[in-house]
Amino acid sequence: MIGNYLNYYESSNLLHGSLMQIMGTRLDALILGAEPTLANKVWEEVKDELVRLNKMLNKFDKESELYRVNNKAIHSPCSVSEELWKILADCEQYYERTYGYFDISLKDYSKVEFDNECHTVYFTDTGIQLDLGGYAKGYALESIRKILVKHSITQALINFGNSSVLALGSHPHGDSWSIGINDPYNPDKIVGNISLRDNTLSTSGNMPSHTGHIFNPFTGQYNADRRIVSVSAPNAIDAEIVSTTLMIADKIKEKEIVSQFTIDQYCIFSL
């Protein structure tokens, strides 16, 4: 985690906290309606939870649990924590619900063996790596939601780089939170706006500096299309999964995948 900004505005009972680098992006949090002591307590719990999850789910961090699994499971069955086991089981359900388009192995999911009794993971082929990039921020938002609810926070906006957003209640001067969808190829251009109230948003897409990073397990290729997909849904993980898979699914599968989830709105923008 790099960089931490925090300010509390007493006139509006608003805490604004930022983490400049967490889970591969920036996080901004607006927490409203709480007195300073409570708002700061909530922010500290949010920070601690994000650091904890990053240490578990970041495959690039040599100290993370996922990094250990990726390096050991190719040699022998690797045991995992109870929480990570539940996450992997959840990902298996998403694999089935998306007809195989959501594949955390980034190669061939059939080459990953799960032992339900011992809670171990084993890769039966070289080149397999588990990647939770299309899942982790949604999971983090749902974890943050639990913290907010625990402290009776009903008005907040949690924003991972405008790509993964949790909105509780509404903006102080409106009946919802309005999230602008930026054109990554033209930063001054807004291609759409989505209103959120007690809802989540996930936006997936390619950027000039990060092209072709969403893998299609059926073609073995990364999608390099100039487009973005935004999905709003009650559940942040669902939104994350659907926005990712709709980047690579064809028109027929697009409709079949969407039908498997409770989705409020989805938009596909060609750039």
Mean pLDDT of 85-95: 98
Query: Residues, the chain, total?
Result: 271
d(CA 141, CA 236): 6
- CATH homologous superfamily, domain 167-271: ApbE-like domains (3.10.520.10)
The per-residue pLDDT for 180 is: 95
Q: Residue 2 pLDDT more than 70? A: no
Which tokens belong to 251? 């028109």
d(CA 166, CA 203): 12
**Interval 110-164: pLDDT, tens:** 999 999 999 999 999 998 999 999 999 999 999 999 999 999 999 999 999 999 9
Nearest CA-CA partner of 228 in 249, 207, 258: 207
Q: Residue 1 pLDDT more than 80? A: no
Dihedral, 176, 179, 32, 16 alpha carbons, nearest 10: -170
Q: Residue 259 pLDDT more than 90? A: yes
Helices (H), 104-192: 136-150
d(CA 157, CA 166): 6
Which long-range contacts link 122-126 to residues 24+ away (Cβ below 8 Å)? Answer: 122/73, 122/76, 122/77, 122/78, 123/73, 123/74, 126/74
- Of all residues in the chain, what percent carry a pLDDT higher than 90? 86
Q: Are 8 and 40 in contact (CB under 8 A)?
A: yes
The per-residue pLDDT for 226 is: 82
Q: Structural domain boundaries of the chain?
A: 65-123, 167-271
Question: Of 3 and 252, which is predicted with more confidence?
Answer: 252
Which tokens belong to 134? 């299309």
Q: Are 148 and 45 in contact (CB under 8 A)?
A: no
Q: What is the mean pLDDT of the chain?
A: 95
- Helices 36-57/65-72 angle, 10° precision: 10
